[in-house]
Structure 1
Amino acid sequence: MDSTKSWGNHTCSLSEESPTSFNGDDDSKIDLSQKLADVCFESKEDTFESIAEVSKCNDGYVLSQRKFTKELLQDCELDISKPANTPFPSHMKLYSDQGDLYDNATLYRCYVGKLNFLTNTRPDLDFAVQTLSQFMHSPMIPHVLALQHTLRYVANTVGQGILLRATDQLTLQAFFCDSNWETCPSSRKSVTGYVLLLCNSLISWKSKKQITNSKSSAEAEYRAMAHAASEVAWLVRILEELGLGSLKPVKLFCDSQSAIHIAKYSIFNERTKHIEVDCHFTRDKVLEDLIELTYIPTIVCSLVMFSLSNSHFLSSRIC
């Protein structure tokens, strides 16, 4: 099956024999495009197809892993007959030393590993997977129950994926960052999460536990903001190399007024004097006009990072 796409004076051809070939007038841009394509298609064809399936709709294209999801659920040894509306049980806290040991740790690791692969097109699973992954070494019954809930949610949303909207203007439109203070009940560490949108299309996201403890919620939010600013800086550089200009300043949305105030103004007081220097990376990017900090309500930030109540989660789903 062959396919050819054109933009400007450049043409990209896709075929089974030659995954990518480029033609055009600008040799430097052709060389850059060829290198990027070689990186994207360096894996085997069947592996690439299992990562994402592309389907067309009225609003654009949908990236999903329907086939992989069905294979994951087909021989599931856990009871997933009852559907779940959230990827993680609401208000559930998991501990590493509470509960009875699960007698099949290999099965737990297998399912969590497959769910981790599924997050390539399912940002709504990111928080649940990073939480479940912390107990791979010695899973207990409560951990398996949480895993079962996540699998029930996956079974209820088999075809869900990422919508890449069709648009004439390729601009980095919005960015959300958030942090849940002391999310981990064992280490009391916070969880960082961010979502990056290109023309209302999801292109980058992360949910990860912070490596250090924060003394306040404002500090936890400020650390999350630093991680988000780093991702913005990297992505802006990549997009500019591909010829997309006028991206700056990128709006960085955050639900903490205190963190925004710390990043905008050089104020070192009891709340900020203990924060590491690398966290002030955000302030540098604000001064460089790379990012513009904007306040946004908490509910919008919470899709990737935290499991919400059923009604709130369903109303804030973006993919």
Structure 2
Amino acid sequence: MRGTTSPRRAPAVLALGLAAALTGCGAGGDTRPPHAPAGLTAQAGSATSVHVMWRAPDAADGVSGYQVFQGGRLVRELPADKTMTDITGLAPRTAYTFSVRAEDAAGNRSPLSAPAEVTTPDARAEDRLAPTAPAAADGRAEGPHAVRLSWDAAADDTSVTAYDVYQAGVRVHTAPGTDRATTVTGLQPGTAYVFTVRARDGSDNSSPDGPPVAVTTPADPGRAPHTAPGSFTATASPGAVELTWTAPDTGRATSEYQLYVNDLPVTVIQFGAGAVPRGRASYRLTTAEPAGTAWTLKLRARLPDGNWGAFSEERRILLPG
């Protein structure tokens, strides 16, 4: 778009070498460990796999990752935005114990969580037939941060061992195959969600999605959603634009932001492990656009549930020569 200042078109030349001046979280002097993860559950998904889940921590803990232990042996290391995992390669008809601990950016580690015990079912003959999809499903909000989902039982030639809940194409929860309802927590207030449920059998065959369930969480009267980056600024200098903002309070450190220029998305800003801002953040992008080019800029954060949050205030700049 060289030579034009139309506010409706994205810049054609964004030298997003993204040599970002990323503001990392300072680890110096931090010796306080995070709290141990709470709400740990372990659900056998098949004769050889177990699904382990736990609740997201409070943002004040500054968690940067998790370690998952099987019987005292480390089996998984996960980033802060993952609060579930599948442990595979297990033995049928065997009891297992799992625990999780959290780690912050300064390297402080929490105590181990309360253990979760589970026994894998018997192995079955080769089974390639997937269960039927749950024929009907329903849902209702249970406050600003939780949704209660229910569904009809699926059918399978052996048995249904688990029901997986998906949101925006990502599995966010797993319930036992004997359940017909579950509660999904850690959601944002005042947000529209669409969930689907899939049945899974002991051979890890998954059904098609059941019917979609749309639920909107109510606003939290005691706490605003705070999904928009705050105090957003954009300062232009020759060949570059400096962006600063305050990270939103979403209940977890935010490591991913989507930048819009002239109402079109141009890049996703990602902070690496150990550099996730919890207060003010900054980002520098370079540009070869001609002097006098007009830009309007805004950005939004990726929420813990995978959705994009509200946009920041919009800023308008003219690129200098």
Structure number having the greater helix percentage: 1
TM-score, length-scaled by structure 2: 0.23
Structure number having the greater strand percentage: 2
TM-score, length-scaled by structure 1: 0.23
Higher relative contact order (CA 8 A, sep 6+): 2
The structure with the larger Rg is 2
